[in-house]
Amino acid sequence: MTYCVAIALDEGLVFASDSRTNAGVDQVSTYSKMHSFEVEGERLFVLLTAGNLATSQAVINRLKRDLDDGAEESLATARHMSEAAEYLGRLNREEQEKHQEALTKAGFTPDASFILGGQIDDEEPAVFMIYPQGNFITTSPHTPFLQIGESKYGKPILDRILMPSTSLADAARCALVSMDSTMRSNVTVGPPIEMLVYRKDSFAQDHYLCLEADHPYLLELKRAWDEKIREAFCELPAFAWEAAQSGRRRGTQVSTKPHRKKRKPATKARG
């Protein structure tokens, strides 16, 4: 399983991905799912991958080969980020079609999904999610992030915190909390966790981190989040009936034992 998230902000872009892949409970491997492509001073792309590993690796290899060979169409020739997403979608579909029949017979699916983010020249940075069918979507002001893989556990924190005006640092922390929430609920998502922060118009990887499970910052983030979320939970408003019970307890001591009628003491017979 996989979890990747990309966030589009006024200041730039934030990317995060796990590195765990598995083909069964007894076969777990680690592969990077974050790849970057740069044309110095002109354009930068970051690619996150999910789905069939053979398909995603084949697509990555074709992207690299087209760049190195100066192909007629490549990430270097795309005039807009949407054109780059369309090109990637076509490569993805072609690689899937090569192995569709053989993999289907073997009980596997060649489907792969991608998130492509970056900036070309003086255009605004953008993020696109490319589906296995080759079509794609982008972010919006109301939903400035895209996810692939095991997305449901990490989505609530993104929905509550992120907006286009969020700072890059806050968005990076939010992405890591989202990743931690996913890892806690699904053991098929796991470290190392890769995170990349891109500042608008820099055309360079401004900050890159690869966090192992025992990385001091990741451990401190987990501890602080657990502590603060428990504190917030304990401060939630009380129910009306809780307040009433609390008032009675303050006034009188209420016994939890069943009430029994007291017996009158026996009187001695007079002789």
Domain ranges, ordered by start, for the chain: 3-214
The CA-based angle 72-88-170, given to 5 degrees, is: 125
Q: What is the pLDDT of residue 252?
A: 42
Q: Is the predicted pLDDT of residue 237 greater than 70, yes or no? A: yes
Local structure of 195: helix, strand or coil: strand
CATH class assigned to 3-214: alpha beta
State the pLDDT confidence band at 99, using cuts at 50, 70 and 90.
confident
Mean pLDDT, residues 85-107 taken together: 85
Is-cis flag, bond preceding 192, omega within 30?
A: yes
Return the bridge partners of 5, or none.
16, 147
Distances (CA, A) of 254 to 35, 251, 259: 64, 9, 11
CB 218 within 8 A of CB 184: no
Q: In sequence order, what are the residues at sequence separation of 6 or more whose Cβ sits closer than 8 angstroms to the Cβ of residue 53?
A: 21, 31
State the pLDDT confidence band at 255, using cuts at 50, 70 and 90.
very low
Most confident region among 8-12, 189-193, 259-263 by mean pLDDT: 8-12
State the pLDDT confidence band at 187, using cuts at 50, 70 and 90.
confident
State the pLDDT confidence band at 60, using cuts at 50, 70 and 90.
very high
Q: What is the pLDDT of residue 40?
A: 85
Distance, in Å, from the CA atom of 245 to the CA atom of 81, rounded to the nearest integer, reads: 60
CB 78 within 8 A of CB 42: no
- φ, ψ for residue 42 (rounded to 5)? -125, -40
Structure letter (DSSP) for residue 217: H
Q: Is the predicted pLDDT of residue 251 greater than 70, yes or no? A: no
CB 132 within 8 A of CB 92: yes
Mean pLDDT, residues 235-248 taken together: 80
CB 61 within 8 A of CB 54: no
Token pair for 30: 């680690």
Return the bridge partners of 195, or none.
16, 209
Q: What is the pLDDT of residue 271?
A: 41
Residue with tokens 């360079």: 204
Q: In sequence order, what are the residues at sequence separation of 6 or more whose Cβ sits closer than 8 angstroms to the Cβ of residue 154?
A: 3, 5, 147, 178, 179, 181, 182
* Percent with pLDDT over 90 in the chain: 73
Q: Is the predicted pLDDT of residue 89 greater than 50, yes or no? A: yes
Q: What is the pLDDT of residue 253?
A: 45
The CA-based angle 230-232-238, given to 5 degrees, is: 110
